[in-house]
Structure 1
Amino acid sequence: MPKPLRTSRRTWIAAWVVLCAAGLAATVGLNASNAPDPQTERPVSAECAEYVADIERQLAEAQRMSERDGVLVFSRVQAGTDDDCGEVLRDRLRDDR
């Protein structure tokens, strides 16, 4: 039966260093490629901005007054608001989570 090849500690350490460096480089590359693109702020109508500010104020007040978890409900339709208010409001509420 042939004897197995003996490798030195330096060879094993060098192999681990190379593998770790390759793993770190791959991780950095993947994290950089998965980074979300920064979204530019779209102009929002004054009515929509006022509506969103009012909802944020109500949320802050409800959070301050509530000692336990609760549900705050808003109507879906607001007279005089544009369609972009829904998207802006969803984006704001997602950021607060």
Structure 2
Amino acid sequence: MPEPIRMSRRAWVATWAVLCVAGLAATAGLNVSSSPDPKTEEPVSAEYAERIADIETQLAKSKKEGNDTVLTFSRIQVGDENDCSDELRHHLRGDQC
């Protein structure tokens, strides 16, 4: 049976360092390639802005009164041209998608 090849400590450390640098470079490359493109924020129409302001007012009033109740809003039928659920969701969540 042949003898295994022996490596010095310096060779092990150098190999380990090269593998670490390669791993960090690969991770950085994957992070850059998978980040979503920043979308520009589209302006909200005046009607939607008015609805969002009304909801903010109701939320502030409920908070000021110290109510521990759940504030609910009825939904508009899907497909209605006045549906601003996406804009409201982005506003309340603070989405930066």
Short-chain TM bin: 0.7 to 0.9
Q: Considering only aligned residues, what root-mean-square deviation do their CA atoms show, in Å?
A: 2.5
CA deviations over 1:53-89 (Å, ceiling 9, x no partner) = 222343355456256xx533111129xx733x22111
> Aligned ranges for residues 1-97 of structure 1 at < 5 Å?
1-62=1-62, 65-66=66-67, 71-77=70-76, 82-83=82-83, 85-95=84-94
Following superposition, the deviation at residue 92 of structure 1 comes to: 2.2
Q: SS state of the match for residue 12, structure 1?
A: helix
Q: SS state of the match for residue 25, structure 1?
A: helix
Separation in 2, partners of 1:61, 1:11 = 69
Following superposition, the deviation at residue 33 of structure 1 comes to: 1.1
Q: TM-score, normalised by structure 1?
A: 0.73
- Name which structure has the greater RCO, CA cutoff 8 Å, separation 6+: 1
The structure that is helix-richer by fraction is 1
Structure 1: segments with no counterpart, 5+ residues? none
Separation in 2, partners of 1:50, 1:32 = 38
Separation in 2, partners of 1:63, 1:23 = 49
Structure 2: segments with no counterpart, 5+ residues? none
Structure 1: which 4+ aligned runs deviate by more than 6 Å? none
